[in-house]
Amino acid sequence: MDLPHRDGIDVEAANEYRDRLLGCLDPAAFSRPAAQERYEEMIKAGESPANDEHPLIAQWVTLNAGNDKEDLVIGPLRDPVAAFGAQFLNTTPSIEAIAKILPAMKTLSDAIATAAP
């Protein structure tokens, strides 16, 4: 269940966050066999990571400390995705709700992937 390589992504860190999340979840709720398999691997190896923030990461406020302006392209694309997340924070969205938000998520993902640094 390794995360695929993508340019600019620290795969080792991403896998660590994945494992931290898996360690916090109820294995009975896993919907993918790969998640169940990775969870079982971690338990057998005794390597379920603690869900503690690394001090450096916990102190981050923003990646661009001097830039407090919202990105004019990404900001508006983020709004419907953030609203979806807030709406379904503690509930499971319907198939229809998921189908409705997927195009906005794809547009946001594409905009992030092609954004200038």
What domain count does the chain have? 2
Residue type, 16: E
pTM: 0.43
Residues 75 and 53 in one domain: no
Residues 5 and 46 in one domain: yes
Residue-level pLDDT at 97? 95
Residues 1 and 55 in one domain: yes
Give the Cα separation of 37 and 41 in Å (integer). 6
Residues 84 and 53 in one domain: no
Domain termination site, one of 29, 60, 91: 60
pLDDT digits (tens, 9 = 90+) for 24-47: 888 888 888 888 898 888 888 887
Residues 14 and 68 in one domain: no
Residue bearing tokens 């406020």? 61
Q: What angle do CA 68, 74, 77 make, to 5 degrees?
A: 130
Domain limits for position 15? 1-60
Please report the sign of the dihedral spanned by the C-alpha atoms of residue 96, residue 74, residue 114, residue 20: negative
Residues 16 and 37 in one domain: yes
Question: What does each C-alpha distance from 106 to 24, 61, 78, 86 come to in angstroms?
Answer: 27, 26, 11, 18
